Structure 1
Amino acid sequence: MRLGKIYRNYISNNLFVKMILIFSVIAVFTIATLSYFTFYFMSRSIIQNELNNQKDAMERVNRYIIAKHEGVQLMVQNMYRDQQLSDNVTYLLKHSFQEYINRRLDQFLGNRIGSTDAIVYFKNRVEDDQDIENLLLYSTEKQFLYVQSQRNLSRLITTNPSRSFIPDAMSQLNGNISVPNEWVRKTIAQPNPRLYSVHSPISDLGTLKAVGQLVVYFNSDSISNALSGYENDIGGYILVLASGGGVIFDSSGTYYGSAYPYADKLNTLAGQGELEQESYISTLTPNNLGYMVVGVAPKAEVAKSYRTLRNLILLISMACILVAIIVPSLVVANVAKRTNLIIRSMRKVETGDTSVRIQDVKGDELGQISRSFDQMLGELTRHIDRVYKAEIKQKHTELSALQARINPHFLYNTLEVIRMRAISQGVTDVSEMIYSLAVLFKSFVQQETMVTLQEEMENCRRYLELFRIRYKDKFSYTIDYEPELAGRKMIKMSLQPIVENYIVHGIRPDDMDNVLTVRAAERDGIIHIMIKDNGTGIPSEKLEQIRESFQLPENEETSGFGLRSVRERLKLVYGADCGVELASGPDTGTAVHIWFPNSPREDS
């Protein structure tokens, strides 16, 4: 109930409060929507940039590992290119180590220049690459393992199948790059679990039969060198996994020494999924090298990169919302204040106080309404003053109309008797004049205030006909109007007073060429009537007095059916959409122009 009362008192009946609320809702919704989509697209861009950085880092890791693999393959290829070296390596792997030493002594004593020691060759390769932790030569036939380590350490390990797992481990190598076998690593006393192995079979060039394997252990930490410059650009971590999930490289250092627990999910997740937590996942799998590069970017960690953006957008959105609400609210409050002043003024006018004035000087719509309101009150005051005069004049008019209606048939019958007498005496022109006068008199005493244009023109013609007969061949007239205007309504006796002015003041009785022309036409919804003569004209001083009289207020002394009467009646019926214009000069004739809308106003 309380909420309903508040709604009725402060919202339902208050247009401006509703405007502020509606605008606020629209502003909040628009800004919130814009902010959401801005944040969404910018955060997507940041995420994509993070993932692109991670993919670039993965590519560098992959290129680094491939370079190490190619280095091992080049090591073997260079061995094959040197025939003496290839023979020595093959001999080493097919005979006992003591027999190989004896062979090298024989070569030295025989001055066999050009022969290359296999042990020295591989030792030099280890020294050339500081990333190599161990280089292993395994003899398939003699089943021994020669190990060369950094810092010029070498060992020869016998790997009898009955007492060692080394032969089995070597036989199970099924890829080019993998995680070092745990038993092999323990056998060669290598405690570091952060290693990856690159191996290549070694064959006898004479028989093409595999005689052993070359296995190189690289330090996995050296892969971090490939990530130089990406330390602050990678969200999450990068893994290099061997087949079976063994961890070759882990930038986070978490999963070394064990299988990656989520390896079985990597092939089923499409771009993102649940690992330790919800994460973005990228994979890179080189062909036939036996490993896979994986990039894992936890969503929570990636979100940190656009957290500042989110806070900034929230701050800007809140500021925009406040500005979008406060500024229009102040403007609307000012408009409401001015509007309420107009309403209070109107309510005072309702009580009869027409002295109220708003006096708003601003040029906007409310200022225009206020000035129009003040002008309306001024007009209303003047109109009230005129109403009393109009009512008095109306009473006189009604009295005159009542007097004019007293037994009009008596007057018609009397004129008819006179007309018939004139006919019996042969005075036909007098009978015609009496007939026209009787018809005119009958039309004038009728109560209608509006007649058709055809009827008004006919009354004008009958009036002019009286004077044509009176002046015989000294006067002629022309009445012309568009046929489609015949049924249009106009004020009764609008033309007769003007024509009468010409007969009384403008005709030249001594001349034979007196002409009066009455024409009516319609242009753009306005009916225009011109009454033009070639009479004596109006002197300029008198013409100016007549024009000035049009601007004077109506008074009781004004009477008759002159130009002033015609103009006032047009204004009463048609308002400002009508007019009377007078043009004349001495001995140049007079032209009176009347115009009014095609239809009178509804309140007429």
Structure 2
Amino acid sequence: MGLRRAYQNYISNNFFVKLILIFSIITVLTIVTLSYFTFQTMSESMIQNELNKQRDAMESVNRYVNNKYESVQLMLQDVYRNPKLSENVTYLLKYSFQEYVMHRLDQFSSSSSTLTGLDYFKNLIADDPDIANIIFYSSEKQFLYVNSQQGLTKLIYTNASRSFVPDAMALQNPGVSLPNYWVRQSINQWEPKLYSVQSTINDMGTLKSVGQLIVYFNSERIKSVISGNVGNYHGYILVLASDGKVVFDSSDQYYGSIYPYADKLNTLTGSGVLQEDSYITTLASPGNSGYLVVGIAPKSEVAKTYKSLQRLIILISTACILVAVIIPSLFVINFAKRTNKIIRSMRKVETGDMTVRIQDTKGDELGQISRGFNEMLGELTRYIERVYKAEIKQKHTEMTAMQARINPHFLYNTLEVIRMRAISQGITDVSEMIYSLAMLFKSFVQQQTVVTLREEMENCSRYLELFRIRYKDKFSYSLHYDRELAERKMIKMSLQPLVENYIVHGMRTDGTDNEITVCAVGEADVIRVTIQDNGIGIPQGRLEEIKRSLDLPETEEEESSLGLRSVNERLKLMYGKEYGVEITSQPAIGTTVTLWFPYSEGSGGDNV
């Protein structure tokens, strides 16, 4: 429950937290994926580079060993191309050594050449430090004639009844291999890092095999070839004979033995598990040399080459993730703070605090929302003030009406008694004034705020009738309206205050031709009422003041009057700003007041 509540509070209901989480997840997955593929591509490239370096080393080894094999073949070719040398070698292998010595003495006395005998091979050993021994084996006489790097020669008899050398030599395959154990034992050559190249010697006359030429080479010399041509590489390189024996081992692990994984090399391609999981490369020897060059690069050792790359990519990826997440998060957090400020301000407004304002001067969307919110609050405050004042006026009017309704029947009956008394005394004009006053009073105390045009005209007529009687022949009035407009709705008490303004301020009491005209006409969707008099008029300066004051709210002192400004404000509150009152006047000529309201019909509303 605690985790669920925390999820709802901090993640589910928080858009910006979800935005940051989604963006972070996408960013992390993208960078991790790109980093992974980058690492895979670069590491494979580095692995291939290491394998290429090893292959270059293997090719150097292959060339070197093959050169040594070919150098032995060249030895035999030189023997075959030189008849005297060929005859000497063949004689050595076909006859006993004593007979060969006698033969050589006879040749020496008749020839001045010194290279027609076995001295030729001694010179080869001297010229090539890689050669440890050059050995001749006589198949017929079963002896070994050994030339060593130190310039020593040995003749060793290997009769089959006393030695395994003849059998071993018969089974020995030509090409590159390890030195035969029995040959080593016979010539006392136990240097472990040697390999042999063996080739058959034929009699040039009969083309029959008369023996074998065996050359021992120093395997350690191969390392210098690798380091000199290739440099550092990972893993190790083997040269295997056809029987799987190790001819050369750059790691010095398997010298003098059969490579334990030789049987797997034919089934594995590219990589496999030998002593450990490794990359495997093989190079077959050219021709009939019979050896195999093998490159073994353990994957764990090759992996060390791209460990630094792995650490670098992880470091760069981590830095990219931090930058890609933190910087946008800072912007999102800033937006979240500004949004929360707007939300808090809205909640304060919900509690009724209309003084809240958001301080945000930035020009982005949130700044525009904040300024719009402030403007909306300002407009709403002004609207509330207008509505509040309208309600206050409505309450004041209702209070006034309520006070006027105190025991209205008593007032009506009292006025009726006074009127009947006037009639009994024959004072008809007084009775008419009392009747008009009673009807006006009855209309005023009614609660409805919207009446028909006919009712408002009748009330206006009763009010004017009072003053006609008061001023007798000095005052006259007339009211005109189309009968089809009789039932149109308008605000109650919207004409009487305007007529009263004329009676109080505009009528010439010393004149006998005072006249006022009230006329209502329909124009499209508007009813226009014109009140025109021939009174004293309004001076120009005062008229401008009145016009300016029409758009200003009333002060507390003016709220008790029902004059021009009150009618104008009630019309605007009821119908809108496009309706209201307009006044024109000329001194000594008269004043014209025009008001207009919508062309509505039916019962309408009863309250503003």
Quickly name the TM-score band, shorter chain normalised.
0.5 to 0.7
Contact kept in structure 2, 1:88 and 1:117, CA below 8 Å: yes
Could you tell me which residue of structure 1 aligns to residue 129 of structure 2? Answer: 130
Could you tell me which residue of structure 2 aligns to residue 61 of structure 1? Answer: 61
Secondary structure of the 1:273 match is strand
Could you tell me which residue of structure 1 aligns to residue 199 of structure 2? Answer: 200
Pairing of 1:158-197 with structure 2 (within 5 A): 158-197=157-196
In 1, distance between residues paired with 2:203 and 2:177? Answer: 25
Deviations 1:384-438 (A, max 9, x none): 3455689999x9xx976844799xxxxxxxxxxxxxxxxxxxxxxxxxxxxxx99
Could you tell me which residue of structure 2 aligns to residue 602 of structure 1? Answer: none
In 1, distance between residues paired with 2:231 and 2:552? Answer: 92
Secondary structure of the 2:118 match is helix
In 2, distance between residues paired with 1:73 and 1:495? Answer: 127
Pairing 1:149–2:145 present: no
Pairing 1:325–2:325 present: yes
Following superposition, the deviation at residue 158 of structure 1 comes to: 1.0
Following superposition, the deviation at residue 497 of structure 1 comes to: 7.3
Following superposition, the deviation at residue 317 of structure 1 comes to: 2.4
Pairing of 1:305-384 with structure 2 (within 5 A): 305-384=305-384
Q: Which amino acid aligns with 1:67?
A: N
Deviations 1:201-251 (A, max 9, x none): 111112111211111110000111221247763111000011121001000
Q: Which amino acid aligns with 2:70?
A: E
Q: Which amino acid aligns with 1:344?
A: R
In 2, distance between residues paired with 1:7 and 1:57? Answer: 62
Secondary structure of the 1:384 match is helix
Pairing 1:277–2:281 present: no
Following superposition, the deviation at residue 154 of structure 1 comes to: 0.9
Pairing of 1:210-289 with structure 2 (within 5 A): 210-229=209-228, 233-287=232-286, 288-289=288-289
If you compute each CA radius of gyration, which structure gives the higher value, 1 or 2? 2
Q: Which has the higher mean CA deviation after the structures are superposed, 57-66 or 207-216?
A: 207-216
Q: Which has the higher mean CA deviation after the structures are superposed, 144-153 or 376-385?
A: 376-385
Secondary structure of the 2:301 match is helix
Q: Which amino acid aligns with 1:98?
A: Q
In 1, distance between residues paired with 2:525 and 2:13? Answer: 58
In 2, distance between residues paired with 1:181 and 1:388? Answer: 122
* 1:207–1:14 CA distance, 2 compared to 1 (3 A): same
Pairing of 1:56-95 with structure 2 (within 5 A): 56-95=56-95
In 1, distance between residues paired with 2:383 and 2:174? Answer: 110
Q: What is the aligned residue count?
A: 441
Deviations 1:335-379 (A, max 9, x none): 222111111100111122222100201122211111111111122
Q: Any stretches of 5+ residues in structure 2 without a counterpart?
A: 398-447, 457-480, 491-521, 529-543, 554-564, 580-608
Pairing of 1:531-550 with structure 2 (within 5 A): none
Q: Which amino acid aligns with 1:135?
A: I
* 1:24–1:230 CA distance, 2 compared to 1 (3 A): farther
Q: Which amino acid aligns with 2:311?
A: N
In 1, distance between residues paired with 2:207 and 2:168? Answer: 23
In 1, distance between residues paired with 2:379 and 2:526? Answer: 30
Contact kept in structure 2, 1:95 and 1:142, CA below 8 Å: yes
* 1:390–1:81 CA distance, 2 compared to 1 (3 A): farther
Could you tell me which residue of structure 1 aligns to residue 40 of structure 2? Answer: 40
Contact kept in structure 1, 2:196 and 2:217, CA below 8 Å: yes
* 1:389–1:153 CA distance, 2 compared to 1 (3 A): same
Contact kept in structure 2, 1:107 and 1:115, CA below 8 Å: no
Secondary structure of the 1:26 match is helix
Could you tell me which residue of structure 1 aligns to residue 303 of structure 2? Answer: 303
Pairing 1:50–2:50 present: yes
Contact kept in structure 2, 1:279 and 1:297, CA below 8 Å: yes
* 1:37–1:145 CA distance, 2 compared to 1 (3 A): same
Could you tell me which residue of structure 1 aligns to residue 512 of structure 2? Answer: none
Secondary structure of the 2:191 match is coil
Following superposition, the deviation at residue 21 of structure 1 comes to: 2.5
Secondary structure of the 1:152 match is coil
In 2, distance between residues paired with 1:78 and 1:443? Answer: 146
In 1, distance between residues paired with 2:365 and 2:149? Answer: 92
Secondary structure of the 1:78 match is helix
Q: Any stretches of 5+ residues in structure 1 without a counterpart?
A: 407-436, 448-492, 501-544, 570-604
Secondary structure of the 2:257 match is coil
Secondary structure of the 1:257 match is coil
Contact kept in structure 2, 1:284 and 1:293, CA below 8 Å: yes
* 1:125–1:96 CA distance, 2 compared to 1 (3 A): same
* 1:39–1:404 CA distance, 2 compared to 1 (3 A): farther
Could you tell me which residue of structure 2 aligns to residue 515 of structure 1? Answer: none
Secondary structure of the 1:341 match is helix
Q: Which amino acid aligns with 2:206?
A: T
Deviations 1:468-493 (A, max 9, x none): xxxxxxxxxxxxxxxxxxxxxxxxx9
In 2, distance between residues paired with 1:224 and 1:553? Answer: 109
* 1:40–1:404 CA distance, 2 compared to 1 (3 A): farther
Deviations 1:166-187 (A, max 9, x none): 1112111224111111111121
Following superposition, the deviation at residue 91 of structure 1 comes to: 1.3
In 1, distance between residues paired with 2:289 and 2:198? Answer: 11
Could you tell me which residue of structure 2 aligns to residue 510 of structure 1? Answer: none
In 2, distance between residues paired with 1:120 and 1:100? Answer: 14
Q: CA RMSD in A?
A: 3.7
* 1:444–1:231 CA distance, 2 compared to 1 (3 A): farther
In 2, distance between residues paired with 1:63 and 1:262? Answer: 24
Contact kept in structure 2, 1:84 and 1:114, CA below 8 Å: no
* 1:44–1:494 CA distance, 2 compared to 1 (3 A): farther
Secondary structure of the 1:151 match is coil
Q: Which amino acid aligns with 1:264?
A: D
Could you tell me which residue of structure 1 aligns to residue 99 of structure 2? Answer: 99
In 2, distance between residues paired with 1:495 and 1:142? Answer: 147
Following superposition, the deviation at residue 118 of structure 1 comes to: 2.8
Could you tell me which residue of structure 1 aligns to residue 541 of structure 2? Answer: none
Following superposition, the deviation at residue 129 of structure 1 comes to: 0.6
In 2, distance between residues paired with 1:334 and 1:273? Answer: 56
* 1:147–1:400 CA distance, 2 compared to 1 (3 A): same
In 1, distance between residues paired with 2:196 and 2:487? Answer: 128
Q: Which amino acid aligns with 1:196?
A: Y
Q: Which amino acid aligns with 2:16?
A: F
Deviations 1:281-336 (A, max 9, x none): 11111243211111111111111111111122222222333333333333332222
* 1:567–1:374 CA distance, 2 compared to 1 (3 A): closer
Could you tell me which residue of structure 1 aligns to residue 585 of structure 2? Answer: none
Normalising to structure 2: TM-score of the pair?
0.65
* 1:304–1:351 CA distance, 2 compared to 1 (3 A): same
Contact kept in structure 1, 2:451 and 2:489, CA below 8 Å: no
Could you tell me which residue of structure 1 aligns to residue 28 of structure 2? Answer: 28
In 2, distance between residues paired with 1:138 and 1:444? Answer: 148
In 2, distance between residues paired with 1:443 and 1:217? Answer: 140
In 2, distance between residues paired with 1:280 and 1:444? Answer: 107
In 1, distance between residues paired with 2:523 and 2:67? Answer: 112
Share of identical aligned residues, percent?
Answer: 59
Secondary structure of the 1:76 match is helix
Q: Which amino acid aligns with 2:292?
A: M
